[in-house]
Structures are given as C-alpha cells and as structure tokens.
Amino acid sequence: MRVHHTNLVNLVGYCNEGDHLALIYEFVPNGDLRQHMSGKGGRSIINWGIRLRIAVEAASGLEYLHIGCIPPMVHRDVKTTNILLDEQFKAKLADFGLSRSFPVVDESHVSTMVAGTPGYLDPEYYRTNRLTEKSDVYSFGIVLLEMITNQPVIDQSREKSHITEWAGFEVNSGDIRSIMDPNLQEDYDSDSAWRTFDLAMSCANPSSKRRPSMFQVVVELKECLASEKSSRNMSRGIMDSHRSDEVTVLVDTEMFLVAR
C-alpha cells in the first residue's frame, strides 16, 4: 500500500473472510505486453514507437522501486506477461508476489532463496543467492530483447536456445534486421533499434557490475524514443514535400494546357 507510481498497478484492497482470501488490484483492460507482441486473443500488434514508449514506462516503474521507494524494492519477476497495458496502452508493472525490500539502508543485497521465471532469472543471483536491484535489470534486458525480436526467451529448437545467445549470434552479420520482429515490416528507425539492442545486451550482461542502473536505462530509452520520433517526423516531412511537388507539377501542366 506504500507503493504508488503511475507505472505500477495499484492495490485497491483485500478480502480476508474465512477461506475467501484475495488481493484486489485496479483493472487494466488491454492485457499484457506478451499478448500484443504475438497478437494472440485478437490483440493488436504494437508498432516500434509504442514498444519503445512502453519500455520507457516499465523501466520508470522499476526505477521507482529501486530508488524512489523507502525502503527500496526488487521486483524479482520482471517479464512481458507482468507488464500490463491500460486503455491508452500505458504500461503498468504488475505481480509483486516475489518482491523483496531492503530493510537496512546500507545493505546492498539480500541473501534469499532463488525465485523467478526461467530465462529471465539473473544467472549471478541464481549462482550466489545474492539478490540486488541489478537482478531486475537483467530481467528487463530480456524483456527488451523480446520486444525487439518477438522471439521466445528459451527455444530448444534454436542452435542458441537462450535469447541473449541467439540474438548476439545473429547480429554478428552487422544487420539489425536479422533479429527484428518481422511483424514490424521494417517500419522502424535502425539507429533506435541498434541502440535498444545494445542497451538490452548491456542489461543482460552476466556480470551485475557491468549492467547499468535502471536510472541509466530510462535515460537511454528516452533517447531511443526521441530518435524514433525524429525519424518518423523527418519521413513525414519528406512525404509532404513530395506531395507538394506533385501538386506544383499538376498546376504547371494545367497552365500549359490552358496556354495551348
């Protein structure tokens, strides 16, 4: 109840009547991010610009948990199915069942039994049982790779089964299109796509010390979104210019016909 942020699902109340136990959260009507990546259940496939905005919003929710909350919290189960979308497709991070707080101000980690979702789980946390906010950063990097590629996090039919290994191998060719979601139909700014991919791989670094903070992730994603918007505005300007040229040619042709 002490956690309040525009990009976190609000806890409305609870029920504790005998066998009837429930937590009541706000209703978020547009389902989860995973559904809109796959188009399942009649959900619309979201474009690259909306994906980047959702990434900024989800990252902002995590940033709040890490540095805006007192005491700070680690979500511990960041994944695409736990990012919900409201009427305007604003992202809201949900499911705090595995979350842990740091009760001591100077404490940098919590020693705890490993919990989380396979594929999204920080390998360093899995190995050492030391939970830090960088564990969420790793999971968020996997989310970004999903948003870029629309590929399963773990797919045993691939030569490289985990999405980090697969994506890293595929882009060795130097072509970001080799991993981009084909549903996007190449309708994206390649610079913002590359920057988002580089950020995702940085977040998913096996070493927690080499991962950025969520504050740095938010800053970088906002720049990626600005780059995408700038590219789209430039494209619109070029299209409008072409239309203007077509009108001028048409007018000149009409004047020529009248003169004859």
Q: Which amino acid is at 76?
A: R
> What token pair was written down for 74?
């680690």
Q: How does DSSP classify residue 153?
A: S
CB 180 within 8 A of CB 148: yes
Residues written for the chain: 260
> What token pair was written down for 82?
């736990």
Active-site residue among 32, 77, 95, 189? 77
CB 64 within 8 A of CB 8: yes
End-to-end CA distance of the chain: 80
77 belongs to the catalytic site: yes
> What token pair was written down for 43?
């959900």
DSSP 201-250: HHHT-SSGGGSPPHHHHHHHHHHHHHHHHHHHHHHHHHHHHHHHHHHHHH
| Angle subtended at Cα 75 by Cα 74 and Cα 81, rounded to the nearest 5 degrees | 160
Q: How does DSSP classify residue 9?
A: P
Residues designated catalytic = 77
